[in-house]
Amino acid sequence: MDDFMIRPAEPAQLGAVAELRWQWILEGGDQPVTTRGEFVRHFVDWAAEHAGSHRCMVVVRDGAVIGMAWLAVVQRVPTPSALRRASGDLQCVYVIPGERDSGVGGRLVEAVLSRARELGLERVTVHSSPRAIPAYARRGFASSPRLLHTHVSRADSYP
């Protein structure tokens, strides 16, 4: 029996999700450009503003949020054969260090993919760290010669 739950984040949990994002950046050695409190407030406001396009799933154990993953849904241009189209991008998958390599992250990704299927998305992409590529591959992600990208600006230059 699992001792954790995976479910959509509740508004009251977004502060804890922001704390996970803060922790992730510190683990990576990056330097925050703001205070922790200011970031948490900004993050919670951002999540509320983008609730229609960005859906957060959380892993909860004993009332504590121990993991998160976001599904960004992008509407696609209609075609004569499909008037409503959308795709998804799996973003910010994070599990606290003590829970990694336990299967929790894989179950979280599976929950997000299940939600993507419920929404009728055409595809889900992910930009992965090298360490996580095998985990995504086990869940059906594969390289595609048709999906290309280019860097057009620095991430911090967006208004």
pLDDT in tens, 68-83: 999 999 999 999 999 9
pLDDT of residue 159: 58
Residues 66 and 59 sit within 8 Å (Cβ to Cβ):
yes
pLDDT of residue 107: 96
pLDDT of residue 112: 98
- Euclidean distance between the first and final Cα of the chain, in Å? 46
pLDDT digits (tens, 9 = 90+) for 2-47: 799 999 999 999 999 999 999 999 999 999 999 999 999 999 999 9
Average pLDDT in the 131-148 region?
93
**Of the candidates 96, 101, 88, which has an alpha carbon nearest to the alpha carbon of residue 21?**
96
pLDDT of residue 46: 98
Average pLDDT in the 119-135 region?
94
pLDDT digits (tens, 9 = 90+) for 91-118: 999 999 999 989 999 999 999 999 999 9
pLDDT of residue 1: 47
Query: How many Cα atoms occupy the beta-carbon half-sphere of 91 within 13 Å?
Result: 13
Count the neighbouring beta carbons within 10 Å of the beta carbon of residue 89: 17
